[in-house]
Every structure is written in C-alpha cells, then in structure tokens.
C-alpha cells in the first residue's frame, strides 16, 4: 500500500463538498441564535437584572469551563431523558426519537457560542462612552432607542473582529457534530476514508476545505470591518 495517494485525495475531494451545505447551515444557525441569546445575557449582566443576571453569570461560567464535545454529548443523551420525563409527568407528547441529530448539533453550538458572544457584546457595549446614553436621554430617547440607534452601532464596530473569530471558531466546531451522527465534512471524510483505509488523504482534504472556508470568511469579515469603521478614518475638515 502506498503511504500517500494523491490521486485518491483528488478523486474524493468533491465528496466533501457535498457536506459543505450542512456545515454552513450549522454555523449560520448557531451564530444567529447565539448572537440573540448572547445579547440577552449581556444585557441582563450589564443592567444587573435580578435573578436573571446571576443565572446568566453561572451559565457563562459553566459553558466556558466545559468542553464543547462534552456539551454536545450531554444534550444528545440528556434531552431524550428530559423529554421522556416530561411526557410521563405532564403527558406532553414529546417524542425523543423524532429529534434529528442536526437539531442537537445546532442547539449545542448555539448555547456554546452564546456564552462567548455575550462576553464580546458586554465588553463592546462597555467600551462605548457612557456620555452617549446620557446624551440620548437628554433628547428624550428611551433606553431601548438609545441602545438600538446609538450604542449598539458603535459597539458593533469594535465587536466585529471578535465576532469574526467566533464565526470561524464555529466553522471548525462543526467538526464535532459527526460525534452525534450529523453527516458534515468530518463525517464524510471518515466514511470515505474507510475505502482502502486512506485516512490521511481524507483528513488532509478536510483540513484544506476547512482552511478555504475560514480564509473566505476571514476576508469577508475584514471587508465588513473596513466598511463599518471608514467613518473613523475620515479626515476632519
């Protein structure tokens, strides 16, 4: 057996592209849900909302202190137990067998990235001058209006690089979804590698594809950052 077969690697690379939509779907959904949840968590902690603020602190500490793979396994094996218990106690028709693995992966990555995004959002909002809120109040704006129209747009500029890093981290984090039977890039690589035990070729293919994806999004976020911050570079007349 040859140590490395370039012909096999080139032949099987298109097979990985078939799993690309699944990887991107998990990434985009998890990023969107995590952003919404992370924003709520950040605001609860910043404004010290009773009970919710303390729960948010514990949530962030727990998620950041445990491995993503462990969280995926806990959700994958724990959710059916919870659903069965709710059905037995309350009579709720919640079939655990009907939950697709893709949903578990999206849910696990969403709650994981929400903890990290909440810290990004909290630091970005804290970096905005407090006088901005006072100025908004002085012209009759509510807290909600001040946040949406003044504070958040400014915070977005400073938070965007970290959001980009988080998004790229999510792309790579989807590689753990194959552990709960989601057929994404790593799962396809493992399946195809079984044909002749060409694991090196397929895992190298997977690493190249992940690098291409991450490089593309890295450039996209760089362009977005430059466009959002162009007003800061504008010359003063």
> Is 1 inside a domain boundary?
no
> Is 70 inside a domain boundary?
yes
Long-range contacts of 168-172, Cβ-Cβ distance < 8 Å, separation of 24 or more:
168/214, 168/217, 168/218, 169/113, 170/26, 170/27, 170/30, 170/31, 170/109, 170/113, 171/23, 171/27, 171/210, 171/213, 171/214, 171/217, 172/210, 172/214
Chain CA centroid to CA 67, Å: 14
What does the pLDDT look like over 148-201, one tens digit per residue?
A: 888 888 888 888 999 999 999 999 999 999 999 999 999 999 999 987 788 999
Looking at residue 232, what is its pLDDT?
A: 56
101-127 helix and 152-173 helix, angle to the nearest 10 degrees = 150
Given a contact cutoff of 8 angstroms between Cβ atoms, the answer to whether 156 and 125 are in contact is no
Query: Half-sphere exposure of residue 120, counting CA atoms within 13 Å on the CB side?
Result: 23
pLDDT at 219 over 90: yes
Looking at residue 45, what is its pLDDT?
A: 92
**Measured torsion, CA atoms of residues 178, 106, 210, 156, in degrees rounded to the nearest 10:** -160
Report CA-CA distances (Å) from 25 to 47, 61, 75, 84, 207: 33, 27, 19, 28, 19
Share of residues in the chain with pLDDT > 90 (%): 61
**Number of structural domains found in the chain:** 1
Task: Say how far apart CA 171 and CA 29 lie, in whole Å.
Answer: 11
Q: What's the pTM value of the predicted model, to 2 decimals?
A: 0.88
> Is 236 inside a domain boundary?
no
Q: What pLDDT band is residue 231 in, cutting at 50, 70 and 90? A: low
Looking at residue 235, what is its pLDDT?
A: 52
> Is 35 inside a domain boundary?
yes
> Is 131 inside a domain boundary?
yes
Q: Report the CATH number at residue 33.
A: 1.10.3720.10
Structural domain span for residue 53? 6-231
Which whole number is the average pLDDT over 224-232? 75
> Is 74 inside a domain boundary?
yes
Report which of 195, 196, 198, 177 is spatially closest to residue 186, judged by C-alpha positions. 177
Is 24 exposed, middle or buried (CB count within 10 Å of its CB: 0-12, 13-18, 19+)?
Answer: middle
> Is 237 inside a domain boundary?
no
Task: Say how far apart CA 189 and CA 52 lie, in whole Å.
Answer: 42
What does the pLDDT look like over 22-74, one tens digit per residue?
A: 999 999 999 999 999 999 999 899 888 999 999 999 999 999 999 999 999 99
> Is 15 inside a domain boundary?
yes
């Amino acid at each position: 057996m040859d140590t490395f077969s370039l012909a096999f690697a080139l032949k099987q690379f298109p097979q990985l592209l078939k799993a690309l939509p699944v990887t991107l779907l998990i990434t985009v959904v998890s990023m969107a849900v995590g952003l919404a949840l992370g924003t709520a968590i950040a605001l609860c902690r910043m404004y010290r909302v009773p009970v919710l603020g303390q729960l948010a602190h514990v949530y962030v500490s727990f998620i950041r202190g445990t491995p993503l793979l462990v969280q995926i396994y806990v959700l994958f094996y724990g959710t059916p137990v919870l659903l069965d218990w709710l059905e037995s106690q309350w009579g709720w028709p919640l079939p655990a067998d009907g939950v697709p693995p893709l949903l578990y992966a999206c849910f696990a990555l969403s709650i994981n990235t929400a903890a990290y995004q909440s810290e990004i959002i909290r630091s970005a909002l804290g970096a905005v001058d407090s006088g901005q809120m006072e100025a908004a109040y002085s012209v009759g704006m509510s807290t909600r209006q001040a946040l949406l129209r003044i504070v958040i747009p400014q915070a977005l500029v400073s938070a965007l690089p970290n959001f980009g890093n988080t998004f790229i981290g999510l792309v790579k984090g989807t590689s753990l979804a194959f552990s709960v039977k989601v057929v994404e890039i790593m799962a396809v690589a493992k399946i195809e590698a079984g044909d002749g035990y060409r694991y090196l070729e397929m895992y190298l293919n997977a690493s190249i594809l992940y690098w291409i994806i991450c490089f593309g999004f890295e450039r996209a976020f760089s362009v977005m950052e430059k466009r959002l911050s162009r007003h800061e570079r504008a010359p003063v007349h």
